[in-house]
Structure 1
Amino acid sequence: MRYIEDDLKDKTILITGGAGFIGSNLAFYFQNNHPEAKVVVLDCFRSGETFSNGNLKSFGHFKNLIGFSGEVISGDINDKDLLLTLEADYKFDYIFHEAAISDTTVLEQDLMVKTNVNAFKDLLDLAVAHKANMIYASSAATYGGSDTFKVGHEAPNNVYGFSKVMMDNIAYDYMKTADISIVGLRYFNVYGAREYFKNTTASMVLQFGHQLLSGKNPRLFEGSDKILRDFIYIEDIIQANIKAMAPKKSGVYNVGTGKARSFQDIVDILQRELGTTATCEYIPNPFVGSYQFFTQADIEDTKEFLGYVPGYEMEEGIKAYVAEIKRIYETEVKK
């Protein structure tokens, strides 16, 4: 679906983290709907490097960009020389900043802040220099232990959530004087195509889907019918990003459905769509005391200032996703 009617002919768009989940979906949105635009993808593609928790330092994967016809640059947003080269060699009209350390279990606070906070400031300077509107990924992790999911009620409980709060603070500061629009999007629990290479941090929609396809019983925490999250399909994330290109007002906005659904709902819907009748196994929740049992985005400002209206209930999102869940299972999981 095309979310704006603007002519993007002769416009140049930079997508950082463009080989990742959301960035690659953005790249293909522009290729399919605005082929007259020039799209430049920057990504720190994965290597064998890992954090102390054993997870990969980068989830960027070339397979997410198969079929992409724009320009691809391999590089790290922490590389100031690279950013200077981008400033000198290009003239960007829009910057979609999706690159980040997004693994909430990463313990390296120094690298998290350097990558998510300090590099963001450098990219804002690039946006100001080019007069490029900036759309960047914030996160629902900014709310952490809060029970109110509205901007202004931040209570991060890990360094990732803290880093996103710091990004938003910097953005607010730039909004006061910058002659560009700046929009931060606080994503809630996103699922959809091109997330597989996030490995263990991929959504439970995908993970439960693959458990069912492999003939396993889905394993849920006890009381999963009462553990509620705002799960949002990738198409609505893309819609919000595109609407944020020309906002009524710069700001930080939630991107969710505004409706909390349970993990049990995910399994039940998947079973209907896949035609399976597996028995759920319930295991003790080892994270009681540090675990969010409820998230639900307040999206009133998002509707008002971005014109965003979620288009997918969970039933519709999973139905739209299930063919891709099956394809990934056949081509990546079973091999």
Structure 2
Amino acid sequence: MPETILITGGAGFIGSNLVHRWHRNHPQDRIQVLDKLTYAADPKQIEGLDRVELVVGDIQNLELARHLIDKNGVTKVFHLAAESHVDRSITGPAEFIQTNLGGTFAMLEAARQVWAGQQDCRFLHISTDEVYGSLGDTGKFHETMAYAPNSPYSASKAGSDHLVRAYHHTYGLNVVTTNCSNNYGPRQHPEKLIPLAITRMAKGEPIPIYGDGLNVRDWLYVEDHCAALETVMLKGVAGETYCVGGDNEQTNLALIDLLCDLVDQHLGRPQGTSRKLKTFVQDRAGHDRRYAIDATKIQAELGWKAGSGFREGVSQTVAWYLKP
């Protein structure tokens, strides 16, 4: 039967890619997008899709959230809306606490009030691997690992994860949580590393690299992430957490070098042109050294696996940002 799906933050990077995927794979469903349209969102990314309606509003508005869930008979909530840029959380933490904690509370409370114990309705909370802190040279993040957030951003996300857990154990709300590694792909705001580097290379501008460039991240192609979210929504176990990673560990320096080569190739430049733009800058405060995800649980229990090769995904991303 057709359902109404609510996606918070659906005009943002991951959210808009999820809107397109759900629209494509579930053509009978109606998709309601709730988005405040901050600087990181772009309504053009989801316009023109039938059965998709954008509501401009704040996830902290409990009355609005309750109205949308109740009026439209929403049965599934993908909660992606969040402040997510670590640098911004360091210079202005208040907005992160308000949005990521206060907004998640309002969305959970709205769902609890409207659904009133209906176990066929589900709330999927999308979080980050940064709640686990920083890894050494070995090991990977997994679902039972202790939380150790090191930035105002990751602390606010850790708090929202705990709220989601509490609403399941206290009120019986059908919730599931995912913690993902660094995403990349089309439609990402240019403040993030990969689109920032691509756009600067294209303009011949310096590419800033924090510290020694040897911080390691596990990169996940956004389409693979959206496939995981779809899988968890449909097949995940209530109250459970699933770590989602691309199994693509790269130092920032190696990533930048790959981007340089792909941009030069795409623009027909001599190889090595963009590498000359690399500029090392002072390291970020509290910069976690290494992230890596152990995705064994979601692979073994739900049958999901990242399908995109790293070079292939990055090549597609470069082509998207440099298209005429």
With normalisation by structure 1, the TM-score equals: 0.82
1:76 aligned counterpart, secondary structure: coil
What residue number does 2:44 align with? 63
1:103–1:160 Cα contact (<8 Å) kept: yes
Question: How many Å apart are 1:234 and its aligned residue?
Answer: 0.7
Tell me, in whole angstroms, the C-alpha distance in 1 between the residues paired with 2:300 and 2:160: 23
Question: How many Å apart are 1:211 and its aligned residue?
Answer: 2.4
Tell me, in whole angstroms, the C-alpha distance in 1 between the residues paired with 2:168 and 2:302: 16
Tell me, in whole angstroms, the C-alpha distance in 1 between the residues paired with 2:19 and 2:279: 39
Structure 2 residue aligned with 1:113, among 77, 87, 97? Answer: 97
Question: How many Å apart are 1:324 and its aligned residue?
Answer: 0.6
Question: How many Å apart are 1:227 and its aligned residue?
Answer: 2.7
What residue number does 1:122 align with? 106
Superposition pairs for residues 27-42 of structure 1, below 5 Å? 27-42=19-34
What residue number does 2:36 align with? 44
Tell me, in whole angstroms, the C-alpha distance in 2 between the residues paired with 1:117 and 1:182: 16
Task: Give the counterpart letter for 1:215 in structure 2.
Answer: G
Structure 2 residue aligned with 1:192, among 178, 182, 185? Answer: 185
Runs of 4 or more off by more than 6 Å in structure 1? none
Q: 1:67-107: per-residue Cα shift (whole Å, max 9, x none)?
A: 32311111111112212322431211210111112232335
Structure 2 residue aligned with 1:73, among 42, 45, 55? Answer: 55
1:222–1:282 Cα contact (<8 Å) kept: no
Tell me, in whole angstroms, the C-alpha distance in 2 between the residues paired with 1:117 and 1:42: 17
Structure 1 residue aligned with 2:161, among 165, 168, 180? Answer: 168
What residue number does 2:311 align with? 315
Task: Give the counterpart letter for 2:58 in structure 1.
Answer: D
2:235 aligned counterpart, secondary structure: coil
Structure 1 unpaired stretches of 5+: 1-8, 47-57, 331-335
Q: 1:288-320: per-residue Cα shift (whole Å, max 9, x none)?
A: 772222211111122233322111232121122
Question: How many Å apart are 1:217 and its aligned residue?
Answer: 5.8
2:63–2:110 Cα contact (<8 Å) kept: no
Superposition pairs for residues 183-222 of structure 1, below 5 Å? 183-195=176-188, 198-200=189-191, 202=192, 204-216=193-205, 218-221=207-210
Superposition pairs for residues 141-156 of structure 1, below 5 Å? 141-147=130-136, 148-151=140-143, 152-156=145-149
Tell me, in whole angstroms, the C-alpha distance in 2 between the residues paired with 1:162 and 1:269: 31
2:183–2:221 Cα contact (<8 Å) kept: yes
1:93 aligned counterpart, secondary structure: strand
What residue number does 1:157 align with? 150
Aligned: 1:229 with 2:225:
no
Q: State the superposition RMSD in angstroms.
A: 2.4
Aligned: 1:259 with 2:248:
yes
Tell me, in whole angstroms, the C-alpha distance in 2 between the residues paired with 1:79 and 1:287: 37
* More moved, 36-45 vs 260-269: 260-269
2:125–2:164 Cα contact (<8 Å) kept: no
Tell me, in whole angstroms, the C-alpha distance in 1 between the residues paired with 2:215 and 2:66: 46
What residue number does 1:51 align with? none
Question: How many Å apart are 1:322 and its aligned residue?
Answer: 2.5
What residue number does 2:288 align with? 292
Aligned: 1:241 with 2:229:
yes
1:146–1:154 Cα contact (<8 Å) kept: no
Tell me, in whole angstroms, the C-alpha distance in 1 between the residues paired with 2:223 and 2:252: 20
Tell me, in whole angstroms, the C-alpha distance in 2 between the residues paired with 1:306 and 1:165: 24
Question: How many Å apart are 1:141 and its aligned residue?
Answer: 1.9
Tell me, in whole angstroms, the C-alpha distance in 2 between the residues paired with 1:219 and 1:170: 36
What residue number does 1:53 align with? none
With normalisation by structure 2, the TM-score equals: 0.84
Question: How many Å apart are 1:39 and its aligned residue?
Answer: 0.5
Question: How many Å apart are 1:126 and its aligned residue?
Answer: 3.2
Task: Give the counterpart letter for 1:304 in structure 2.
Answer: A
Give % identity: 25
1:209 aligned counterpart, secondary structure: helix
Structure 2 unpaired stretches of 5+: none
Tell me, in whole angstroms, the C-alpha distance in 2 between the residues paired with 1:227 and 1:100: 24
What residue number does 2:13 align with? 21
What residue number does 1:6 align with? none
Aligned: 1:11 with 2:8:
no
What residue number does 1:55 align with? none
